[in-house]
């Protein structure tokens, strides 16, 4: 297995890692109840996904 001949300095390591950035999650509004929902996820409030009832929740009863 290959091993580095010299220690990589913190500065050089951090230069390489500058492109690793966190991103915000994409949010949308539920068309049924108006709650804020992540894209491609079932609404936790009412259980709807893309206009259809996907999951029965206590709030929906």
Q: What is the pLDDT of residues 7-53, one digit of tens each?
A: 999 999 999 988 888 888 999 999 989 999 999 999 998 999 998 89
In a domain, 39, yes or no: yes
pTM: 0.57
Residue 6 lies in a domain: no
DSSP code of residue 19: G
Residue 15 confidence (pLDDT)? 92
Q: How confident is the model at residue 49, as a pLDDT? A: 92
Distance, in Å, from the CA atom of 25 to the CA atom of 37, rounded to the nearest integer, reads 10
Full domain range(s) for residue 59:
26-61
Does residue 31 form part of some domain?
yes
Answer yes or no: is pLDDT of 60 > 60.
no
Task: Enumerate helices (H) and strands (E) in the chain, giving the number of each.
Answer: 1, 4
d(CA 18, CA 58): 45
Q: Is residue 37 part of a domain?
A: yes
- Residue 61: closest CA among 47, 49, 41, 43: 47
Quote the number of domains for the chain.
1
């Amino acid at each position: 297995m290959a091993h580095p001949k010299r220690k990589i300095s913190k500065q050089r390591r951090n230069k390489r890692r500058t492109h690793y950035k966190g991103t915000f999650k994409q949010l949308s509004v539920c068309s049924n109840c108006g709650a804020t929902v992540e894209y491609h996820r079932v609404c936790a409030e009412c259980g709807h996904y893309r206009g259809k009832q996907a999951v029965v929740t206590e709030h929906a009863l």
